Amino acid sequence: MNRYFLDTHIVAWLLDNNPKLDENLRFDIQYPSGNQYVTSEIVLLELMHIKQLGRISVAGTAIELINALESMNVGLEFMSTEVFTVLEQIPILTINGARHTDMMDRVIIASCIANSEVLISHDMKFPHYRQFGLRLLEA
């Protein structure tokens, strides 16, 4: 059994039934296959933030979104002390000439490393963190 962490875009696409999410991945998430899918409170915070900014149109309150994820077999995990330890060790990288200081991204990366999870993401900055132990499935 593999353990996968769903990044913010993936969660938004899943909740919104967006065709950008690969149908095979959607099916594997929604119908128990032996793989385990999780996301975190950080992803939900980011999701609510970009929803309030009008950048996505996922319907529902935070509680309704959490319930929808649970009904799709997506677990919700919370930060552990190991995540903080890993977060302290990951340097702030310069990617394409800009420092990657997005704290939510960095916490997601640290969570995946600390919890030995494969991150499923569409974010083009994340591959740069493989050198620090991030396992990534680009979607």
pTM of the model: 0.93
Domain ranges of the chain: 3-138
CATH number corresponding to 3-138:
3.40.50.1010
- pLDDT reported for residue 60: 86
Using CA atoms, how far residue 53 sits from 27, 33, 48, 57, 67, in Å, is 30, 35, 9, 10, 22
- Cα torsion angle, 37, 10, 108, 60, sign: negative
- pLDDT reported for residue 56: 87
In order along its 139 residues, the chain shows pLDDT tens digits of 899 999 999 999 999 999 999 999 999 998 877 899 999 999 999 999 999 999 988 888 889 999 999 999 999 999 999 999 999 999 999 999 999 999 999 999 999 999 999 999 999 999 999 999 999 999 8
- pLDDT reported for residue 35: 92
